[in-house]
Amino acid sequence: MTDTLRAPGAALPDRPAIKPRNPSFSSGPCPKPPGWSLDRLATGSLGRSHRSKIGKSRLEYAIELSREVLELPDTHRIGIVPASDTGAVEMAMWSMLGARPVTVAAWESFGEGWVTDAVKQLKIDPTVMRADYGEIVDLSAIDQDGDVIFTWNGTTSGARVPNGDWIRDDRQGLTFADSTSAAFAMPLPWDKIDVGTYSWQKVLGSEGGHGMLILGPRAVERLESYTPDRPLPKIFRMTKGGKLIEGIFRGETINTPSMLALEDYIFSLEWAKSIGGLPALIARVDANAAALDRVVAERDWLDHLVTDPAIRSTTSVCLRFADSSIDRDEAAAIVKRMAALLEKEEAAFDLAGYRDAPPGIRIWCGATVEPSDIEALGPWLDWAWAHARAG
Protein backbone atom coordinates (compact mmCIF):
# COMPACT_ATOMS: atom_id res chain seq x y z
CA MET A 1 0.00 0.00 0.00
CA THR A 2 1.17 3.52 -0.78
CA ASP A 3 1.35 5.62 2.39
CA THR A 4 -1.18 8.45 2.74
CA LEU A 5 1.32 10.85 4.36
CA ARG A 6 5.06 11.17 3.98
CA ALA A 7 7.28 11.13 7.00
CA PRO A 8 8.48 14.62 8.01
CA GLY A 9 11.47 15.59 5.91
CA ALA A 10 11.06 12.66 3.53
CA ALA A 11 12.14 13.31 -0.04
CA LEU A 12 9.50 13.68 -2.72
CA PRO A 13 9.28 10.73 -5.11
CA ASP A 14 11.09 10.83 -8.42
CA ARG A 15 9.22 10.89 -11.70
CA PRO A 16 8.19 7.38 -12.72
CA ALA A 17 10.17 5.87 -15.58
CA ILE A 18 7.23 4.71 -17.69
CA LYS A 19 4.42 6.92 -18.97
CA PRO A 20 1.07 5.81 -20.37
CA ARG A 21 1.45 5.39 -24.12
CA ASN A 22 -1.72 7.42 -24.57
CA PRO A 23 -2.12 10.00 -21.77
CA SER A 24 -5.69 10.96 -22.75
CA PHE A 25 -8.14 9.96 -20.02
CA SER A 26 -10.85 12.56 -20.63
CA SER A 27 -14.49 11.57 -20.21
CA GLY A 28 -15.49 13.35 -23.39
CA PRO A 29 -14.10 13.88 -25.91
CA CYS A 30 -12.53 10.51 -25.18
CA PRO A 31 -9.40 8.82 -26.59
CA LYS A 32 -9.49 7.78 -30.24
CA PRO A 33 -9.65 4.06 -31.10
CA PRO A 34 -6.34 2.20 -31.40
CA GLY A 35 -4.86 2.71 -34.86
CA TRP A 36 -6.85 5.86 -35.58
CA SER A 37 -5.42 8.56 -37.85
CA LEU A 38 -6.98 11.21 -40.06
CA ASP A 39 -5.66 9.63 -43.23
CA ARG A 40 -7.60 6.44 -42.47
CA LEU A 41 -10.97 8.21 -42.71
CA ALA A 42 -13.01 7.83 -45.89
CA THR A 43 -13.23 11.14 -47.75
CA GLY A 44 -15.71 10.52 -50.55
CA SER A 45 -18.54 12.27 -48.72
CA LEU A 46 -16.52 15.33 -47.74
CA GLY A 47 -17.54 18.49 -49.56
CA ARG A 48 -20.77 16.82 -50.66
CA SER A 49 -24.30 17.59 -49.56
CA HIS A 50 -25.68 15.39 -46.82
CA ARG A 51 -28.71 15.07 -49.12
CA SER A 52 -26.64 13.76 -52.02
CA LYS A 53 -26.72 10.07 -52.83
CA ILE A 54 -23.33 9.48 -51.21
CA GLY A 55 -24.09 11.72 -48.24
CA LYS A 56 -27.37 10.02 -47.43
CA SER A 57 -25.88 6.57 -48.00
CA ARG A 58 -23.07 7.26 -45.49
CA LEU A 59 -25.55 8.55 -42.90
CA GLU A 60 -27.70 5.47 -43.39
CA TYR A 61 -24.60 3.25 -43.19
CA ALA A 62 -23.70 4.82 -39.83
CA ILE A 63 -27.20 4.08 -38.56
CA GLU A 64 -27.09 0.46 -39.64
CA LEU A 65 -23.58 -0.05 -38.27
CA SER A 66 -24.78 1.43 -34.97
CA ARG A 67 -27.64 -1.05 -34.92
CA GLU A 68 -25.30 -3.97 -35.66
CA VAL A 69 -22.65 -3.09 -33.07
CA LEU A 70 -25.21 -2.22 -30.37
CA GLU A 71 -27.15 -5.40 -31.18
CA LEU A 72 -30.28 -3.28 -31.35
CA PRO A 73 -33.53 -5.05 -32.29
CA ASP A 74 -35.25 -4.24 -35.58
CA THR A 75 -38.20 -2.91 -33.59
CA HIS A 76 -36.19 0.19 -32.59
CA ARG A 77 -35.53 3.16 -34.85
CA ILE A 78 -32.23 5.08 -34.79
CA GLY A 79 -31.83 8.71 -35.78
CA ILE A 80 -28.86 11.07 -36.01
CA VAL A 81 -29.86 14.36 -34.37
CA PRO A 82 -28.28 17.73 -33.52
CA ALA A 83 -26.56 18.84 -30.31
CA SER A 84 -25.01 15.63 -29.01
CA ASP A 85 -26.66 13.53 -26.30
CA THR A 86 -28.22 16.64 -24.76
CA GLY A 87 -30.01 17.42 -28.01
CA ALA A 88 -31.30 13.85 -28.27
CA VAL A 89 -32.64 13.82 -24.69
CA GLU A 90 -34.30 17.22 -24.99
CA MET A 91 -35.76 16.36 -28.39
CA ALA A 92 -37.51 13.39 -26.78
CA MET A 93 -38.59 15.26 -23.64
CA TRP A 94 -40.08 18.22 -25.49
CA SER A 95 -41.87 15.97 -27.99
CA MET A 96 -43.31 13.28 -25.70
CA LEU A 97 -43.68 14.40 -22.10
CA GLY A 98 -47.02 15.52 -20.71
CA ALA A 99 -49.22 12.58 -21.66
CA ARG A 100 -48.64 10.87 -18.29
CA PRO A 101 -47.15 11.79 -14.92
CA VAL A 102 -43.37 12.01 -15.01
CA THR A 103 -40.60 10.97 -12.62
CA VAL A 104 -37.13 12.41 -13.10
CA ALA A 105 -34.36 10.54 -11.26
CA ALA A 106 -31.08 12.37 -10.76
CA TRP A 107 -27.80 11.39 -9.13
CA GLU A 108 -25.35 13.62 -10.99
CA SER A 109 -25.07 16.82 -13.00
CA PHE A 110 -26.70 15.77 -16.26
CA GLY A 111 -29.61 14.16 -14.44
CA GLU A 112 -30.05 17.47 -12.64
CA GLY A 113 -30.17 19.08 -16.05
CA TRP A 114 -33.17 16.95 -16.99
CA VAL A 115 -34.80 17.95 -13.68
CA THR A 116 -34.37 21.61 -14.61
CA ASP A 117 -35.83 21.01 -18.06
CA ALA A 118 -38.88 19.23 -16.67
CA VAL A 119 -39.53 21.62 -13.79
CA LYS A 120 -38.55 25.04 -15.09
CA GLN A 121 -38.78 24.76 -18.86
CA LEU A 122 -41.54 22.25 -19.58
CA LYS A 123 -43.29 22.97 -16.24
CA ILE A 124 -44.89 19.52 -16.11
CA ASP A 125 -44.71 19.24 -12.30
CA PRO A 126 -42.69 16.00 -12.23
CA THR A 127 -41.87 13.84 -9.26
CA VAL A 128 -38.17 14.44 -8.61
CA MET A 129 -36.03 11.74 -7.00
CA ARG A 130 -32.47 12.63 -6.06
CA ALA A 131 -29.43 10.82 -4.67
CA ASP A 132 -26.07 12.21 -3.60
CA TYR A 133 -22.97 11.83 -5.76
CA GLY A 134 -21.76 8.24 -5.46
CA GLU A 135 -25.25 6.81 -4.97
CA ILE A 136 -28.41 6.23 -7.02
CA VAL A 137 -32.10 6.51 -6.12
CA ASP A 138 -34.29 3.64 -4.97
CA LEU A 139 -35.28 2.31 -8.39
CA SER A 140 -38.05 0.12 -6.94
CA ALA A 141 -39.87 3.27 -5.76
CA ILE A 142 -40.28 4.72 -9.27
CA ASP A 143 -43.89 4.90 -10.47
CA GLN A 144 -43.92 3.02 -13.76
CA ASP A 145 -47.50 3.93 -14.55
CA GLY A 146 -45.92 7.22 -15.52
CA ASP A 147 -42.87 8.14 -17.60
CA VAL A 148 -39.40 8.02 -16.07
CA ILE A 149 -36.25 9.88 -17.13
CA PHE A 150 -32.91 8.72 -15.78
CA THR A 151 -29.21 8.58 -16.59
CA TRP A 152 -28.01 5.00 -17.06
CA ASN A 153 -24.41 5.85 -16.28
CA GLY A 154 -23.61 9.05 -14.41
CA THR A 155 -20.62 10.47 -16.24
CA THR A 156 -20.00 13.10 -13.57
CA SER A 157 -20.56 10.87 -10.52
CA GLY A 158 -19.44 7.40 -11.61
CA ALA A 159 -22.71 5.85 -10.39
CA ARG A 160 -24.76 3.69 -12.76
CA VAL A 161 -27.91 1.62 -12.93
CA PRO A 162 -26.83 -1.98 -12.22
CA ASN A 163 -29.25 -3.57 -14.71
CA GLY A 164 -32.74 -3.28 -16.13
CA ASP A 165 -34.43 -5.79 -13.83
CA TRP A 166 -36.32 -3.00 -12.05
CA ILE A 167 -38.10 -1.94 -15.28
CA ARG A 168 -41.45 -3.75 -15.54
CA ASP A 169 -42.51 -5.45 -18.73
CA ASP A 170 -46.08 -4.26 -18.08
CA ARG A 171 -45.11 -0.62 -17.43
CA GLN A 172 -47.62 1.94 -18.65
CA GLY A 173 -45.20 4.83 -18.94
CA LEU A 174 -42.15 5.29 -21.13
CA THR A 175 -38.54 4.84 -20.02
CA PHE A 176 -36.19 7.60 -21.17
CA ALA A 177 -32.60 6.38 -20.64
CA ASP A 178 -29.77 8.84 -21.16
CA SER A 179 -27.16 6.23 -22.05
CA THR A 180 -24.31 8.32 -23.34
CA SER A 181 -21.52 6.79 -21.21
CA ALA A 182 -23.13 3.35 -21.19
CA ALA A 183 -23.90 2.58 -24.84
CA PHE A 184 -21.24 0.24 -26.31
CA ALA A 185 -19.78 -0.33 -22.81
CA MET A 186 -22.49 -2.10 -20.82
CA PRO A 187 -25.30 -4.54 -21.60
CA LEU A 188 -28.45 -2.49 -22.18
CA PRO A 189 -31.91 -4.16 -22.18
CA TRP A 190 -33.35 -2.47 -25.24
CA ASP A 191 -36.69 -4.21 -24.80
CA LYS A 192 -37.08 -2.15 -21.60
CA ILE A 193 -35.76 1.13 -23.00
CA ASP A 194 -38.39 3.09 -24.91
CA VAL A 195 -36.18 6.10 -25.57
CA GLY A 196 -32.39 5.77 -25.56
CA THR A 197 -29.77 8.39 -26.33
CA TYR A 198 -26.00 8.64 -26.64
CA SER A 199 -23.30 10.69 -28.34
CA TRP A 200 -20.40 9.80 -30.59
CA GLN A 201 -17.55 11.13 -28.46
CA LYS A 202 -17.90 8.75 -25.53
CA VAL A 203 -17.23 4.99 -25.60
CA LEU A 204 -16.17 4.83 -29.25
CA GLY A 205 -13.99 7.95 -29.01
CA SER A 206 -15.44 9.70 -32.04
CA GLU A 207 -16.25 13.40 -32.44
CA GLY A 208 -18.78 15.44 -30.47
CA GLY A 209 -21.67 17.56 -31.72
CA HIS A 210 -24.05 14.83 -32.89
CA GLY A 211 -26.52 12.77 -30.89
CA MET A 212 -28.22 9.43 -31.43
CA LEU A 213 -31.91 9.01 -30.65
CA ILE A 214 -33.27 5.47 -30.34
CA LEU A 215 -37.02 4.96 -30.26
CA GLY A 216 -38.81 1.75 -29.35
CA PRO A 217 -42.33 0.96 -30.62
CA ARG A 218 -44.03 2.43 -27.55
CA ALA A 219 -42.21 5.74 -28.03
CA VAL A 220 -43.32 5.89 -31.66
CA GLU A 221 -46.88 5.21 -30.55
CA ARG A 222 -46.63 8.13 -28.11
CA LEU A 223 -45.33 10.46 -30.81
CA GLU A 224 -48.17 9.54 -33.17
CA SER A 225 -50.93 9.70 -30.58
CA TYR A 226 -49.97 12.68 -28.42
CA THR A 227 -49.45 16.31 -29.34
CA PRO A 228 -47.93 18.41 -26.56
CA ASP A 229 -49.47 21.80 -25.81
CA ARG A 230 -46.19 23.63 -26.29
CA PRO A 231 -44.39 25.04 -29.32
CA LEU A 232 -41.67 22.75 -30.67
CA PRO A 233 -38.49 24.10 -32.29
CA LYS A 234 -37.95 22.83 -35.81
CA ILE A 235 -35.05 20.60 -34.78
CA PHE A 236 -37.30 18.79 -32.24
CA ARG A 237 -40.13 17.92 -34.64
CA MET A 238 -40.38 14.21 -35.42
CA THR A 239 -43.93 13.96 -36.75
CA LYS A 240 -45.92 15.46 -39.58
CA GLY A 241 -49.66 15.07 -39.88
CA GLY A 242 -49.70 12.77 -36.85
CA LYS A 243 -47.19 10.33 -38.34
CA LEU A 244 -43.54 9.75 -37.60
CA ILE A 245 -41.17 11.33 -40.11
CA GLU A 246 -39.49 8.06 -41.03
CA GLY A 247 -36.76 9.74 -43.06
CA ILE A 248 -35.09 10.97 -39.87
CA PHE A 249 -34.34 7.33 -39.06
CA ARG A 250 -32.99 6.59 -42.54
CA GLY A 251 -30.28 9.24 -42.62
CA GLU A 252 -32.37 12.29 -43.58
CA THR A 253 -31.07 14.47 -40.78
CA ILE A 254 -33.05 17.43 -39.47
CA ASN A 255 -30.12 19.83 -39.86
CA THR A 256 -26.78 19.71 -41.64
CA PRO A 257 -24.36 17.26 -40.01
CA SER A 258 -20.58 17.34 -40.20
CA MET A 259 -19.65 14.74 -42.80
CA LEU A 260 -16.09 14.70 -41.43
CA ALA A 261 -17.39 13.85 -37.95
CA LEU A 262 -19.66 11.26 -39.55
CA GLU A 263 -16.73 9.55 -41.26
CA ASP A 264 -14.86 9.58 -37.96
CA TYR A 265 -17.84 7.88 -36.29
CA ILE A 266 -18.00 5.29 -39.07
CA PHE A 267 -14.30 4.55 -38.57
CA SER A 268 -14.96 3.94 -34.86
CA LEU A 269 -17.90 1.66 -35.61
CA GLU A 270 -15.90 -0.33 -38.14
CA TRP A 271 -13.08 -0.66 -35.61
CA ALA A 272 -15.59 -1.92 -33.03
CA LYS A 273 -16.95 -4.45 -35.50
CA SER A 274 -13.45 -5.61 -36.46
CA ILE A 275 -12.49 -6.50 -32.87
CA GLY A 276 -15.65 -8.53 -32.22
CA GLY A 277 -18.47 -6.05 -31.75
CA LEU A 278 -20.33 -5.38 -28.53
CA PRO A 279 -18.95 -8.33 -26.49
CA ALA A 280 -15.39 -7.25 -27.29
CA LEU A 281 -16.11 -3.62 -26.43
CA ILE A 282 -17.63 -4.57 -23.07
CA ALA A 283 -14.68 -6.87 -22.35
CA ARG A 284 -12.23 -4.04 -23.02
CA VAL A 285 -14.15 -1.70 -20.72
CA ASP A 286 -14.31 -4.30 -17.96
CA ALA A 287 -10.56 -4.96 -18.24
CA ASN A 288 -9.83 -1.25 -17.95
CA ALA A 289 -12.10 -0.86 -14.93
CA ALA A 290 -10.48 -3.88 -13.28
CA ALA A 291 -7.03 -2.39 -13.88
CA LEU A 292 -8.10 0.84 -12.22
CA ASP A 293 -9.64 -1.08 -9.32
CA ARG A 294 -6.21 -2.62 -8.71
CA VAL A 295 -4.57 0.81 -8.84
CA VAL A 296 -7.02 2.11 -6.22
CA ALA A 297 -6.70 -0.97 -3.99
CA GLU A 298 -2.92 -0.56 -3.87
CA ARG A 299 -3.13 3.04 -2.59
CA ASP A 300 -4.48 3.96 0.81
CA TRP A 301 -4.68 7.67 -0.10
CA LEU A 302 -7.14 6.97 -2.92
CA ASP A 303 -10.66 5.56 -2.94
CA HIS A 304 -13.73 5.19 -5.16
CA LEU A 305 -16.42 7.85 -4.87
CA VAL A 306 -18.97 5.08 -5.49
CA THR A 307 -18.46 2.62 -2.65
CA ASP A 308 -20.91 -0.03 -3.91
CA PRO A 309 -19.31 -1.99 -6.79
CA ALA A 310 -22.76 -3.01 -8.07
CA ILE A 311 -23.54 0.59 -9.07
CA ARG A 312 -19.99 1.70 -9.90
CA SER A 313 -19.38 2.87 -13.44
CA THR A 314 -16.90 0.96 -15.57
CA THR A 315 -16.37 3.92 -17.91
CA SER A 316 -16.34 7.28 -16.09
CA VAL A 317 -14.71 6.17 -12.84
CA CYS A 318 -14.69 8.87 -10.16
CA LEU A 319 -12.16 8.75 -7.33
CA ARG A 320 -11.77 10.70 -4.10
CA PHE A 321 -9.09 11.23 -1.49
CA ALA A 322 -9.36 8.75 1.38
CA ASP A 323 -8.19 11.25 4.02
CA SER A 324 -11.44 12.64 5.47
CA SER A 325 -9.59 15.51 7.16
CA ILE A 326 -9.05 17.18 3.79
CA ASP A 327 -11.85 19.74 3.34
CA ARG A 328 -13.52 20.50 0.04
CA ASP A 329 -11.50 23.61 -0.80
CA GLU A 330 -8.19 21.94 -0.04
CA ALA A 331 -9.19 18.85 -2.03
CA ALA A 332 -10.15 21.00 -5.00
CA ALA A 333 -6.77 22.76 -4.84
CA ILE A 334 -4.91 19.44 -4.69
CA VAL A 335 -6.85 18.13 -7.68
CA LYS A 336 -6.04 21.25 -9.67
CA ARG A 337 -2.33 20.95 -8.86
CA MET A 338 -2.27 17.23 -9.66
CA ALA A 339 -3.95 17.76 -13.01
CA ALA A 340 -1.53 20.55 -13.91
CA LEU A 341 1.53 18.50 -12.90
CA LEU A 342 0.43 15.45 -14.87
CA GLU A 343 -0.42 17.52 -17.94
CA LYS A 344 2.96 19.29 -17.83
CA GLU A 345 4.70 15.91 -17.78
CA GLU A 346 2.38 14.64 -20.54
CA ALA A 347 1.68 11.64 -18.31
CA ALA A 348 -2.09 12.15 -18.06
CA PHE A 349 -4.51 14.70 -19.44
CA ASP A 350 -7.87 15.90 -18.11
CA LEU A 351 -8.07 13.96 -14.83
CA ALA A 352 -9.90 16.56 -12.75
CA GLY A 353 -13.44 15.58 -11.79
CA TYR A 354 -16.48 17.43 -13.11
CA ARG A 355 -16.88 20.96 -11.74
CA ASP A 356 -20.16 20.22 -9.91
CA ALA A 357 -18.99 16.91 -8.42
CA PRO A 358 -17.14 16.45 -5.13
CA PRO A 359 -13.44 17.30 -5.70
CA GLY A 360 -11.57 14.28 -6.99
CA ILE A 361 -10.11 12.50 -9.98
CA ARG A 362 -12.07 11.08 -12.90
CA ILE A 363 -10.45 8.48 -15.14
CA TRP A 364 -12.10 7.33 -18.35
CA CYS A 365 -11.96 3.56 -18.79
CA GLY A 366 -13.93 3.25 -22.02
CA ALA A 367 -13.27 0.83 -24.85
CA THR A 368 -10.62 2.97 -26.57
CA VAL A 369 -8.34 2.93 -23.49
CA GLU A 370 -5.68 0.23 -22.92
CA PRO A 371 -5.27 -1.49 -19.51
CA SER A 372 -1.50 -1.05 -19.78
CA ASP A 373 -1.96 2.73 -19.83
CA ILE A 374 -4.09 2.61 -16.68
CA GLU A 375 -1.48 0.43 -14.99
CA ALA A 376 1.26 2.89 -15.97
CA LEU A 377 -0.86 5.75 -14.61
CA GLY A 378 -0.75 4.43 -11.02
CA PRO A 379 2.83 5.52 -10.12
CA TRP A 380 2.20 8.89 -11.75
CA LEU A 381 -0.81 9.43 -9.50
CA ASP A 382 1.43 8.75 -6.48
CA TRP A 383 4.00 11.21 -7.81
CA ALA A 384 1.42 13.93 -8.49
CA TRP A 385 -0.30 13.36 -5.13
CA ALA A 386 2.95 13.76 -3.20
CA HIS A 387 4.03 16.88 -5.09
CA ALA A 388 0.55 18.46 -4.96
CA ARG A 389 0.36 17.91 -1.20
CA ALA A 390 3.76 19.55 -0.84
CA GLY A 391 2.34 22.63 -2.53
Residue type, 365: C
Do both 96 and 231 map to the same domain?
A: yes
Task: Check whether residue 263 and residue 376 sit in a common domain.
Answer: no
How far is it, in rounded angstroms, from Cα 333 to Cα 314?
26
Domain of 116 in residue numbering reads as 38-274
Q: Are both 50 and 121 inside the same structural domain?
A: yes
The confidence score (pLDDT) of residue 391 equals 79
Tell me the pLDDT band of 73, cut-offs 50, 70 and 90.
very high
What are the pLDDT digits (tens) for 266-290? 999 999 999 999 999 999 999 999 9
**pLDDT score for 11:** 83
19 occurs within a structural domain: no
Q: Is residue 281 part of a domain?
A: yes
Burial tier of 25 (Cβ tally within 10 Å: 0-12, 13-18, 19+): buried
Model confidence over 140-154: pLDDT tens digits? 999 999 999 999 999
pLDDT in tens, 356-379: 999 999 999 999 999 999 999 999
Are residues 229 and 137 located together in one domain of the fold? yes
Query: Do 254 and 293 share a domain, yes or no?
Result: no
What type of residue sits at position 53? Answer: K
Of 309, 306, 377, which Cα lies nearest the Cα of 346? 377
pLDDT digits (tens, 9 = 90+) for 28-50: 999 999 999 999 999 999 999 99
CATH, residue 136: 3.40.640.10
- The CATH number covering residue 304 comes to 3.90.1150.10
Pair 249, 351 in one domain:
no
The answer to whether position 316 is within a domain reads: yes
Place 4 in a pLDDT band, splitting at 50, 70 and 90.
very low
- pTM, entire model: 0.96
Helix ranges (H only) for 77-215 are 84-96, 109-116
> Are residues 100 and 189 both part of a single domain?
yes
How would DSSP label each residue in 177-220? EE-TTTTTTS---GGG-SEEEEETTSTT---SSEEEEEE-HHHH
Q: Does residue 181 sit in the same domain as residue 292?
A: no
Q: Does residue 217 share a domain with residue 178?
A: yes
- Whether residue 348 sits in one domain with residue 246: no
Q: Is residue 16 part of a domain?
A: no
Do 110 and 190 lie in one domain? The reply is yes
